[in-house]
Amino acid sequence: MHEQNILALADDLRARRYSSVELTRHYLERIARLNPDLNAFITVAAEPALAAAGRADAALAAGTAGPLTGIPIAHKDIFCTQGLRTSCGSRMLDNFIAPYDATVVERLAAAGAVVLGKTNMDEFAMGSSNETSWYGPVKNPWDHTRVPGGSSGGSAAAVAARLCAAATGTDTGGSIRQPAALCGITGIKPTYGRCSRWGMIAFASSLDQAGPMARSAADAALLLQAMAGFDPRDSTSIDTPVPDYTAGLDQDLAGLRIGLPKEYFGDGLDARTAASIDGAIREYERLGARVSEISLPNSPLSVPVYYVVAPAECSSNLARFDGVRYGHRCQAPTDLEDLYQRSRAEGFGPEVQRRIMIGTYVLSAGYYDAYYLKAQKIRHLIAEDFKRAFTQVDVIMGPSSPTTAFPIGAKRDDPVAMYLSDIYTIATNLAGLPGMSIPVAPVDGLPVGLQIIGNYFEEGRLLNVAHRLQQETHWHCAVPTGCA
């Protein structure tokens, strides 16, 4: 059952080849067997999952089932799930049971999906390797000595290891695309405002966006269909109709204009990763696409700009974790100051503390103009680069990550080296554009991700472009040893 994609599972469920309860049990058994080593799940919700599967079976019997009815998925532990621990990978929220569902969670539940549990992640989504999680690192299913990427590393590893049919992730600077690339799965970060952020614990509010992580573009299309759409509870949600993503998957690519930013193929890109990306681009040429070089001149500034803007926003968002209203509280505080200080010092890990300090500094009266305001101006120039590029091309392609998965521990003590993992993904978040990662030819048995960037609200085109390649090639079908 776990070999099947979502469409095939939905067919089997409708034909009663097995029930959703049987399918859910099968996945729970896989999780029980493989997760103790992989550490992809923080919380497994066996009983609620089986209850939801029972309801899905009733809907299937009543003939009211949709494409996701009875399909077992997992949520990144950044999404509030009513009655279920929502830790955000942090000791701060280790004891937090969310009193409500995030909009994305609510919509997938309304579509009939079954939630197997909550996946591991970097603490408050800050990281590129899943090593900042309070719950310990996740192992990459392709090589257990390596990282799965981050911050949605638990979701990526769970999908790659076939511990769920698909999962949700969030992407502030690359956290869907980079782990999707490192684990050999398909992930899409939609346009900012496409999926509601309500109930998604905020890291950097002007950059955060939810999206699906799946085995194929066709599966991702089914999830995004349920997740996307206007939500009056999120003031940045955009009220524009959601197209039928599945209906557009097969469109012909003849004449598609692909732009390759020269800044994405320079120094710092591993040569064999580059060769694998080239191979995929040649496939697109065979499918009728026309390739040209473009330039995104300000993109080298995206990492420094991001590491001003994201910490600034996180220092403000994380101020609410004060030991009073949510989460961890220190023992026997002597006064209010002591309560705040020790609760936050104990609840937050080193990377989160580092970002809060940077953010507080760049927002302080004396440095606001020099750092924060300047970063916002360059952010605008980065968005302008893309605007210009999209007058010349339909989609932009390049690598999702400069290298394949690195060994656990390799960059743990070097934050700047870690920050550079997102060199190709961050600019799209700063511009608010949609971006996707799909698996292409592996290097030494490790997955490589091709990144596809589109214009605002062109998720349908990205899914179409990804799907056409997945019909012609089998890179997305590979399964890690021991997970088949």
Catalytic residue ranges = 76, 151, 175
For residue 137, give Cα distances in angstroms to 89, 174, 402, 403, 405: 10, 18, 21, 19, 13
CA–CA distance, 88 with 69 (Å, rounded to integer): 27
Q: Is 151 in the site for ligand GLN (CB under 6 A)?
A: yes
- Among the residue ranges 19-27, 55-63, 173-181, 250-258, the one whose residues contact ligand GLN (CB under 6 A): 173-181
- Among the residue ranges 17-25, 33-41, 168-176, 342-350, the one whose residues contact ligand GLN (CB under 6 A): 168-176
Residue 372 Cβ vs ligand GLN, minimum distance, rounded to whole Å: 16
Q: Which of 320, 324, 91 is nearest to 333 (CA)?
A: 324
Q: Which of 205, 280, 193 is nearest to 459 (CA)?
A: 193
Q: Is 174 in the site for ligand GLN (CB under 6 A)?
A: yes
What would the two tokens of residue 474 be?
Answer: 């089998």
Contact 389, 433 (CB under 8 A): no
Residue 183 Cβ vs ligand GLN, minimum distance, rounded to whole Å: 15
- Among the residue ranges 27-35, 138-146, 167-175, 393-401, the one whose residues contact ligand GLN (CB under 6 A): 167-175
Residue 310 Cβ vs ligand GLN, minimum distance, rounded to whole Å: 5
Which residue lies nearer to ligand GLN by CB, 126 or 469?
126
Which residue lies nearer to ligand GLN by CB, 171 or 385?
171
Q: Rule CB under 6 A: choose which of 35, 43, 172, 196 binds ligand GLN.
A: 172
Which secondary structure element, helix H or strand E, spans residue 154, and what is its range?
helix 153-160
Residues in Cβ contact with 4 at an 8 Å cutoff, skipping those fewer than 6 apart: 12, 165
* Buried-exposed string 129-155: b where 16+ CB fall within 10 A, e elsewhere: bbbbbbbebbbbbbbeebbbbbbbbbb
Q: What is residue 263's DSSP assignment?
A: G
Contact code string over 90-129 relative to ligand GLN, x by CB under 6 A: -----------------------------------xxxx-
Residues binding ligand GLN: number (CB under 6 A): 13
Q: Is 175 in the site for ligand GLN (CB under 6 A)?
A: yes
CA–CA distance, 151 with 135 (Å, rounded to integer): 13
Contact code string over 192-211 relative to ligand GLN, x by CB under 6 A: -----------x--------
Q: Is 310 in the site for ligand GLN (CB under 6 A)?
A: yes
CA–CA distance, 13 with 464 (Å, rounded to integer): 26
What would the two tokens of residue 35 be?
Answer: 């997760």
Residue 139 Cβ vs ligand GLN, minimum distance, rounded to whole Å: 19
Residue 158 Cβ vs ligand GLN, minimum distance, rounded to whole Å: 17
Beta bridge pairs of residue 260: 293
Q: Is 422 in the site for ligand GLN (CB under 6 A)?
A: yes
Which residue lies nearer to ligand GLN by CB, 307 or 390?
307
- Whether residue 302 is preceded by a cis peptide bond, meaning omega within 30 degrees of 0, is no
* Binding site residues, ligand GLN, CB under 6 A: 125-128, 151, 171-175, 203, 310, 422
